[in-house]
Amino acid sequence: MANAISAEFVRRIPKTDIHLHLDGSLRLRTLIELAKRKKVKLPSQTEDGLSRLVFKSHYKDLPDYLAGFAYTVAVMQDAESIERIAYELAQDNLAEGVRYIEVRFAPQLHIRDEFDMEQVVRACCDGLARAQREHNNSRAVKNGADIPFHFGVILCALRYFHAGMSPYYAKLFAVMRYAAPARVFAAASMELARATVYLARSLGLPVVGFDLAGAEAGYPAGDHKSAYQFAHKNFIRKTVHAGEAYGPESIFQAMTDCYTNRIGHGTWLFATDMVRDPNITDREAYVQHLAEYVAAQRIGIEVCLTSNAQTQSKLRNFARHPLRQMLDHNLSVSICTDNRLVSNTTVTDELLIAINKVNLTQKELSHIIAAGFKASFFPGTYTEKRKYVRQALDRYEQLERELLN
């Protein structure tokens, strides 16, 4: 029974977070400190005030949810700040038993004349690597009482942006002033795909994947097909934010045009009423075939329960979340936070919501934990990944015997 799964067990088991935005996961006190240092004006100078005014438990809509990123991105404009934020993010995950994370962000939002793409990404990697060294050199890891911590970095292209979002985007619009906006978006994605390959292959940084984020409606993933083809041809793993604010067709396009290995959110996979193509006459069959294909191909679904509830009014009752349908269809599902600060959550919190609100069973929990490790874009060889997954599952089973049986 779901209520037999204790909070202590959930906190102690090895976990993953493979959908985790760096700029949505700062510590509040760090945001306040950095804002004072960089003269970034905040609506409040206290943690309580920011939690009440900006980073709330409930949001009116998606724009309200996204408002806080203006402040977090503003303090992430130098290597020292990004490295610190990444380090603290790894520490916070380690403290709750998370042993593998994939941190994603859009370096284009942080590039300046004196701060280029490589420096931005290195700063993030350096912060995560410092936390990794500290944990992996600990007595618990060395004597086998704990497993090592690993991480990867995913670079995010944006479906939509405007010149005011960063100097990088302003320059791109200036250079491409006569191009249609969709071509500018596509060009930015291609440049990021090239950077991803260079950073991962030529420099050997732990850049493990390429992502596409932002508004789905009106900004289709297909516009970024060339960038994804380039990443695909260079053996870069891929994920796409899809089915978060648009229907099943968005997920289909992510798979067919972008060769995606995983789907970010995938919330409306089963929403037949959201199929918009008039040529799809049998919507039920379309969704059934789509779900079956996702299951058979083991395309991972990165589920973010709290974030979905905060941006989609239909899902504020967690019992209505399609996570149950996903599990019943044997999809490869991992539970993620999306944004630890903006959604005021942790991996432990998200798993407890699934257990208590979606009636997750002990067996389903073990499958979700395994799916997170198995679907990861692990920054090593496949043999090394298999060994690490085995370590994680052995540790999980040991704790299961100690705490649940």
pLDDT interval class at 313 (50, 70, 90): confident
For 114-128, what is each residue's pLDDT tens digit? 999 999 999 999 999
pLDDT interval class at 405 (50, 70, 90): confident
pLDDT at 4 over 70: yes
For 330-376, what is each residue's pLDDT tens digit? 999 999 999 999 999 999 999 999 999 999 999 999 999 999 999 99
The predicted model gives 259-274 an average pLDDT of 97
pLDDT at 103 over 80: yes
The DSSP secondary structure of 117-131, one letter per residue, reads: HHHHHHHHHHHHHHH
* Sheet with 333-335: strands ordered across: 15-21, 98-105, 150-158, 207-213, 237-242, 262-265, 300-303, 333-335
The amino acid occupying position 354 is A
pLDDT at 133 over 90: yes
The predicted model gives 148-158 an average pLDDT of 98
Residue 367 corresponds to which tokens in the numbers above? 């499958």
The amino acid occupying position 398 is Q
Burial class (CB in 10 A: 0-12, 13-18, 19+), 80: exposed
- C-alpha distances in Å from residue 277, one per residue of 34, 223, 258, 273, 368: 47, 17, 19, 11, 33
pLDDT at 3 over 80: no
CA neighbor of 258 nearest in space, from 291, 280, 288, 233: 233
pLDDT score for 347: 98
Residues 6 or more apart whose CB falls under 8 angstroms from that of 74 comprise 35, 38, 40
pLDDT score for 1: 41
Classified by CATH at the fold level, domain 2-143+150-403 comes out as TIM Barrel (3.20.20)
As a three-state string, the secondary structure of 288-344 is HHHHHHHHHCCCEEEECHHHHHHHCHHHCCHHHCCHHHHHHCCCCEEECCECCCCCC
CA torsion sign for 72, 238, 288, 359 is negative
Tell me the average pLDDT of the chain. Answer: 96
Specify the residue for token string 């071509």.
Answer: 183
pLDDT score for 2: 41
What percentage of the chain has pLDDT greater than the value 90? Answer: 95
Is 244 part of the annotated catalytic residue set?
yes
E strands, 106-253, are: 150-158, 207-213, 237-242
pLDDT at 62 over 60: yes
Q: Which of 102, 216, 244, 350 is an active site residue?
A: 244
The predicted model gives 42-59 an average pLDDT of 95
